[in-house]
Amino acid sequence: MSDIITPTEDALVEVPPPARGGGTLRYVLTKIGGGLVSLALVIVLGFLLFRVLPGDVVQSMFRGRPATPELMAEAEARLGLNKPLYEQFLDYLWRLLHGDLGESYVFNVPVTDKILERLWPTVLLVGVATLIAVGLGLWLGTRSAWRRGSRFDRISTGVALTLWSTPTFWLGMLLLAATSGLFPTAGLVYSDTPPDFLSQALDVAHHMVLPTVTLVAVIYAQYQLVMRSSLLEEMDADYLTTARAKGLRDDQVRRRHAVPNALLPTVTLVFLHLGMVIAGAVTTETVFSWPGLGLLTYDALRVRDLPLLQGTIVVLAGAVIIMNVLADVLYRVLDPRVRAS
Amino acid sequence: MTAPSPRALAWRRRGAAFAAGWRQFASQRSGLVGLGLLVVIVLLAILAPVITDQGGLDVTEATGGTMAPPDGEYPLGTDRSGRSVLLLTLWSSRVSLLVGFVATLLSIAIGTVIGILAAHYGRWVSAGLMRVTDFFLVIPSLVLAIALSTVMERGIGTIILAIGLTSWPSAARLVRAQTLTIEARPYIERSKALGGGHLHVITKHVLPAVLPLVFVNTTLAVGSAIVAESTLSFLGLGDPDPMRPSWGTMLRSAWLDSAVLAGAWWYLLPPGIAIAIVVLAFTMCGRALEAVLNPRLREG
C-alpha cells in the first residue's frame, strides 16, 4: 500500500490547473462557458424533477381534498400539463427568461416576488456568518499549523472536527435551549420595534445572534483545517529558511511570508464551499424561523408547493454556480503563478 | 519444495502491506479510539432486537409519562407519547447507520466508476464526465437531495438514493486523479503491450491500486451521509413509520413537540450526541487511514 501517492486533503482544495497556452481571456471564457452549461443543467433539472410525475403535481395542489377527475383535468390544463413535454419546456424557458417562475400554490403570489422578498435576510445571514467563519478559521488554522502538535493545535483541531460532525439544526436547537429567553427564538424583528433605522438594525442584530453563531460553528472548521494543511505544506519551504536567516522574527516570517502563500487555496475554498453554507442556511433558517430563502424552501417542501420549491432550488443552485465562476476568475487574478504561466 | 505461484506471491505481498498498514494505523491513538467506538456502536445496533423489545417503539403500547424526565425505569426519560428515549436512540442507530453505509456505498460506487472511466478513456469521455461531475460538485447537494426526496415516495430507499445520487462527485475527482497517476506508470504500458484490453487494465491493475484510496474516502464519507440523513429527516423527508425511527426523525419529533421550549434536554441530547459520536468516530478512523496512506500527514 505504501506505493500509493495519495492526494489527501488536496481533494478538499480544488485548485484550478494552471492554464496551458492561451491567455487569461481564454481561461475566463472557458470558466464562464462551463458555468453556463451548469446553469442550463440546473434549469433543465428544475423542469424535469417536477414534471416527471404530473399526476402528483396536480394531486398535491388539492392537498388531500377530494378531487374529481374533471377538476384534476381542469387544473392540469391550467398548468399546461396536458401539453406535450417539449411545449411545456419551451413555455417554461420563455417564462424563465422573463423572470417568471410561476405562481405559488400556497401564497398565491408570483414565486419571483416571494424569492426577492426573502433574498436579503439570507444574503445577510450567509454573508455575515461566512465572514466570521473565514476570519476565525484562518486565525485558528494559522496558529494550529505554526505550532503543529502543540496543545493548542490538538484542542482547536478537535473542537473544529467535533463541531463539523454535528448536524447544524441540532446545534441550533441546543443553543436555543441553552440561552432560553436571552435571544429571540424566531423571526427577523419584533413587530413593536420603533421604525427608525437604528432600533430596527439593533433588533435585527439581536435576532441574528443565534442563527449566526450556529452557522459559524458548523462551517468554520473547513476553513481552519484547509488553512492548517496548506500552511503545513509551506512550512518546510526554503524561502522561510531564507526569511529566518536574514533575521526576521518568527511572527514576521509567519505574517509576511508563510501565510500569504497558504492563503490562496483557502480563499478559493470560501466560494467553492458556498453550496455547503447554503445547505447549513436551510436548516439554520428553519430552526430559527429566519425569513430567508432556506425557510422558504422548507415551507415549500412542507406543503409541497412545487412551483415555489422549483423556484428556490433553481435560484439557490444558480447563485452557487455563478459564485463559483467568480471564484475561478478571482483565483486567476490573485495568483501570480497562474497568471504568469 | 516448489516455487510459490505468482498469485500466491501477490497475496503474500498484499498481506505484508496490510500488516504494515495496520501497524501504522494502530500506532495512532485517535484512529484506534474511533475504530473501537464504531465496533461497539455497530454491535449495539445489530443486537438491538436481542437485548431490547421492539414493542416499546409502538406508540399505542407506550407506558411512560408524557415527556417525563429520566427516572429509574426510563434512564433517558420519555418522548411525547411516552416511549423510552433510550430505546428510541438505540433502535434509531439501525436506520441511521444503514442509510449511512448504503448511501455511501452507492455514492462511492458511482464516483469510482465515473472517475476510472474518465481517466482511462480520456478525451471527450473525460471532458463530458468531468463536466457533469463539476456540476454536481458545485450545486448544493442538500438542495438537490431535497428536490429528489420531495418528488419520490417518502422512505428509507428514497433517502438513500437522494444522498447517494448527490454526494459522489468528490469521490469521482479523487479516483480520477489517482487513476491518472497509476495509468502513467510503465507497468500499465507493459500490460497494454502484452495485449491487455480496457477491461483487463481497469480491473486487474487500476482498480486494485485505487481501492485503498476509495476505502479511506468511504470511511470519511459515511459520517457526512449520516449527517445528511439526519438533516433530510429533520426537514420531514424521512421514513414516516414510527417503528423505524432514525436519529434525524427523533430530532424532528423533538422539535415538533417543542422539546426546546419545554427544556426536555433528555429528548434533545441523546440523538444529537449519538450522531456526533458516530460521525467523529468515522472521521477519526478516516484520518488515521489517510495518514497510513500518506506519510506526509504523519505527526512529527
DSSP-based three-state secondary structure for A5: coil
Mean pLDDT across chain B, nearest whole number? 84
Question: B215, B148, B279, B182: which is closest to A162 by C-alpha?
Answer: B279
B162 Cβ neighbours under 8 A, 6+ residues apart: B144, B145, B146, B148, B149, B152, B232, B237
Inform me whether the pLDDT recorded for A21 exceeds 60: no
Please name which of A76, A162, A277 lies closest in space to residue B138, comparing C-alpha atoms: A277
The tens digit of pLDDT for each residue in A23-77 reads 777 778 888 888 888 888 888 888 887 776 545 566 666 655 666 777 777 777 7
d(C-alpha B190, C-alpha B184), whole Å: 11
More confidently predicted of B295 and B141: B141
Least confident of A227-236, B6-15, B54-63, B208-217: B54-63
Mean of all residue pLDDT scores within chain A: 78
pLDDT at B214 over 90: no
pLDDT digits (tens, 9 = 90+) for A265-317: 777 777 777 777 888 888 899 988 888 898 998 888 888 788 888 888 888 88
Q: Does B17 touch chain A (CB under 8 A)?
A: yes
Residues of A in contact with B237 (CB under 8 A): 301
- Tell me if B251 and A161 make a contact (CB, 8 A cut-off): no
Write down the CATH number for the domain with range B28-46+77-299: 1.10.3720.10
Please tell me which residue, A61 or B142, carries the higher pLDDT value.
B142
Pick A38's closest partner by Cβ from B134, B181, B265.
B134
Boundaries of every domain in chain B: 28-46+77-299
Q: Spell out the domains of chain A, with CATH numbers in brackets.
A: 24-54+101-340 (1.10.3720.10)
The pLDDT of residue A2 is 30
Displacement of CA A114 from its chain's centroid (Å): 20
pLDDT class of A19 with cuts at 50, 70, 90: very low
Q: Which residue type sits at B292?
A: V
What is the structure's pLDDT at B300? Answer: 39
CA-to-CA distance for B67 and B87, rounded, in angstroms? 14
Whose grid coordinates read 433588533? A203
Which residue is closest to B173 within chain A, CA to CA?
A11
Say how far residue A28 (Cα) sits from the centre of its chain: 22
Residue A199 distance to chain B (closest CA, Å): 27
Section B270-281 average pLDDT: 90
The strand pairing partners of B84, in sequence order, are B78
- Distances in Å between the alpha carbon of B64 and those of A240, B72, B84, B213? 66, 12, 7, 48
CB contact under 8 A, B146 and A301: yes
The pLDDT of B67-86, averaged and rounded, is 75
pLDDT tens-digit readout, A81-126: 677 778 888 888 888 888 787 777 777 788 888 888 888 899 999 9
Q: Which residue has the higher pLDDT, A235 or A167?
A: A167
pLDDT > 90? residue A322? no
Asked if the ipTM is above 0.85, the reply is no
pLDDT of residue B96: 92
Would you call A38 an interface residue with chain B, using a CB distance cutoff of 8 Å?
yes
N-to-C CA span, chain B: 45
| Of residues A6, A41, A301, nearest to B294 (C-beta) | A6
Q: Do B231 and A167 touch (CB under 8 A)?
A: yes
